[in-house]
Amino acid sequence: MKRLIEGHRRFLTEAFPTRRDQFHLLAEGQAPETLFVTCADSRIVPDLILQTQPGDLFICRNAGNVIPRAGEPAGGVSATIEYAVQVLRVRHLIVCGHSDCGVIRALMNPERLEGLDSVKDWLQHVEPAWRYLGGVESQDSELTRHQALTQANVLVQMDNLKSHGYIHAATAEGRLRVHGWYYDILSGRIECFDEQAGKFVPLVG
Ligand SMILES: [Zn+2]
């Protein structure tokens, strides 16, 4: 906690004064163009990997970057997404999974979830990823299977999005585009799902 308080002290004395005008504007309101749905994992820092600024990204985070289907108990996730799309009118919605995701590891090793009832319950939203898993064999390495399952989960959550009528309408009207991303912690690289190619390809060549 001491580190956090010291960090905030440095923010107030060093970072804030140099951006006073920016924060002055931000205090009046927000108009982010992008909703970024990603995992709660501490190693994903959206503003760092995308070099974005305060006010750029509306962010929804939860274990496994899950988007429950319409009609399911969803806690704050559905409300956050609905607000971003219907009120803030974001133009892009990105669902971003990542390497070494604990939720995907849990999906691969459910026997390790003894006593974690809430996690077990949450995993039901991720389980359909098994059905999206194409071209991966059981003899493939754990790393390969983990990556394939994580990417499959991104597709599941993109599909779940479509079950919400207002998302369907917004994409049909062309005012919202949905993107599926995969972030690799080791290389720092992002891959995006290419619908025509039917696979994830580098975001930056
Ligand atoms: Zn994760």
pLDDT of residue 135 exceeding 70: no
Alpha-carbon radius of gyration of the chain: 18
Q: How buried is 183 (Cβ within 10 angstroms: 0-12 exposed, 13-18 middle, 19+ buried)? A: buried
Residues 11 and 52 in one domain: no
What percent of the chain clears pLDDT 70, i.e. is strictly above it?
Answer: 98
CA of 3 to the centre of ligand 1 (A): 24
Q: Return the ∠ at Cα 82 (arms to 93 and 157), rounded to 5°.
A: 50
- Rounded Cα distance, 202 and 194, in Å: 9
**Amino acid identity for residue 129 in this structure:** A
Q: Do 3 and 89 fall into the same domain?
A: no
Same domain, 43 and 117: yes
pTM, full prediction: 0.94
Say how many Å lie between the CA of residue 27 and the centre of ligand 1: 31
96: CA distance to ligand 1 center in Å? Answer: 10
Say if residue 67's pLDDT is above 80.
Answer: yes
CB 195 within 8 A of CB 171: no
CATH code, domain carrying 64: 3.40.1050.10
pLDDT band at residue 142 using 50, 70 and 90 as cut-offs: confident
Residues 26 and 36 grouped into a single domain: no
The 8-class DSSP code of residue 9 comes to H
| Shared-domain flag, residues 42 and 6 | no
Number of domains in the chain: 2
Question: In this structure, what DSSP letter does residue 204 have?
Answer: -
Looking at the structure, tell me whether residues 92 and 58 fall in a common domain.
yes
**C-alpha 97 to ligand 1 mean position (Å):** 7
Mean pLDDT for the stretch of residues 81-103: 97
Residue 48: domain span: 32-202
Measured in angstroms, how far is the CA atom of residue 107 from the centroid of ligand 1? Answer: 11
H helices then E strands: how many in the chain? 9, 6
Distance 91 CA to ligand 1 centre (A): 25
* Confidence check: pLDDT of 145 > 70: yes
Which helix or strand (DSSP H or E) is residue 92 part of? strand 92-98
The verdict on 24 and 36 lying in the same domain is: no
Are residue 81 and residue 149 in the same domain, yes or no? Answer: yes
Determine the pLDDT at residue 139: 72
Could you tell me if 99 and 156 lie in one domain? yes
